[in-house]
Chain A
C-alpha cells in the first residue's frame, strides 16, 4: 500500500497552484519545514511570508492580504492555528468571509512523542462553531490535493486538517466533491463513518466484520462542513446503527456532527470512538491509537455491539 505524508502533497500542490495563479500567497509561523510550505517559499519567495513564532499576527495579517483580493494560505500546527489564534480566525478571517485557507498539520493524537501540548484534539470543534468556515479532513495523500483544490475553487474561509505521519492511500474512493461523503463499501448491517486516518482503520474493521458475515457500509466524511446529512441519514435508516470514529475529541467534531444530524432527523443508535475527556500524551502513534481505543479492532468491537 502506498504511504504518503499529507504534508508533502500539500506542499507540492501549493507549488503547482502558485505557478498557475499569481494571486496565491502563503504564510507560515516558523514551521515551514514541517508544514512543507517551505516548498512554495523556495519557488515564490516574493509571495511567502514567515511571521516567526507569532500565530495571532499571522492570522490577522492574512485578513489584510485577503482584503486586497488575494487567496491566502496560512499554515502552522493545528493546535496553534485553531487554539492560539482562534479570536483572529473568528473575527478577522471568518467574520469578514475572506478567501483564507487555513491548512494545519500535526493534528490529532498521532503527532506522537511531542505529547499533549502539541496534539490538537479539539481543532475541528473550535472551527465548527464559527459561521462561514468550511472544514475538510482528507483521509490520505491524494485527497489532500483534492481538499486544497476545493478550497481554492470555492470562495471563503477553509480549515483543512492534516496529520503528521505517513498515511496509507485509500483506493477507489470515487470522485471528490466538497460536501459529499464517499461511500467506500456497501452494506446494510452497520455503518462506519470516519474521517482522516480513521478511514483506513474503518476499512480494515469492515473486512474483518465481513468474515463474521456482517456487511459494513464504510463512509468517508471528508467534509465536516458542508456536511452530507443526506448520506448520514440514509445510513441511519438502512442499517442497524452507526459507529463514528475520529482522531479528535468526541465533543464537537465528526461524532457530534453525526449525532446532531441523526438526533434531529432520524434517531438511530450511534457509538462514538474518539478522545473522551482526556488530553493526549507522548508515545508512538500506533501505541497511542491503542491507548485511546482508536484501532480497527476497537471499531470492530463497537460495530459488533450494535450489529449482533
Chain B
C-alpha cells in the first residue's frame, strides 16, 4: 500500500492532537505516566488511524483487529486514541483516574474498546497470543497488535510468550516494542540491559523490523511488512524518545511516572500547537 504525503501529514497532525489530549488528561488527573505515553504516540496513532480494522459503534465485532496495550501504565495514550476514534466522548478523558470513571489508572474492560485489563507488566504478549490462537481456531483473518514497553520485556512471562508465539507460528500477531530506553529507576541499559535486542527476538523465532518510532512513513511500512510475513510472528522494534514532543519532557526519567503541573501543561500545549 502506498501512502501519500497527505496521508503522512494527516497522521502527524493527528499524533499532535493525541499528544495534546494526553497532556490535558494527565494534568487534570494530577498523576499518571506521560513519558511512555508520548513515546508511543506515533506508533499507536498510525495504527488506529491507518491500519487497524474496527468499529467504535460495535466494540465487540468478532472480526475486529485486536489491539492490547501490555504496558498498561501508558493508557492515557490508549484512552486518547479511543476517544478520538469515537469509542466514547472526549469529555470523558478529563475523568481519568477519578472515582467511578470509565478511565481507570490502568486499562480495565469497563472502557469501551479495551480488550483486556493490563498494568501488571509482562502478561500482555500472552494475552495477544491467546487472541491470535482464537483467530486461527475460528479461521478468522483479524490481526492482533500488542504494545510492550522496553523495561517490561525484563519480565520472564514475555519470553515464555515469545517462545510460544513462534512455536504456534502466530503470523497474525504483531508485537510493537516502544524502545525509549528509560524505565522508572533510570536508563534501561543501566538497570537491566536488553541488548542485543533484535537478535534476541530473532533467535526466539520472530521476524524483526527495526524502525525510528517517530517516523510515520517507517511505522506504516513496518505494519505493512508485518502483514506479509508468514509462519512466524513479527516484532517492530521502534526506537523512540521518552516524552517525545514536549522539549522539557524528552529523555527526562522523572516524567516516566509524574504528571505535568498546570504550568508545565500550559507550556507543553504551547509547544504542541
Contacts and interface: CB of A to CB of B under 8 A. Distances in A.
Contacts of B132: 64
Contacts of B119: 91
Interface residues of B, number: 33
Interface in B97-117: 108-109, 115-117
A64 B117 contact: no
A65 B133 contact: yes
Contacts of A70: 134, 137
B175 interface: no
B118 to A, nearest CB: 8
A50 to B, nearest CB: 9
A279 interface: no
B161 A25 contact: no
B130 A56 contact: no
B131 interface: yes
Interface of B: 62, 66, 68, 108-109, 115-120, 122-124, 126-135, 137-138, 156-157, 160-161, 163-164, 168
Contacts of B157: 56-57, 60, 88
A87 B120 contact: yes
A60 B126 contact: yes
A49 interface: yes
B126 A63 contact: yes
Given A61-B133, A67-B116, A96-B117, A56 B127 contact: no
Contact of A96 (B116, B129, B164): B116
B160 A91 contact: no
A95 B120 CA distance: 11
Interface string A40-80: 00000011010110101111111111111110000000000
Contacts of A69: 62
Nearest to A97: B109
A92 B117 contact: yes
6 contacts: A56-B123, A57-B164, A61-B164, A62-B130, A67-B66, A91-B123
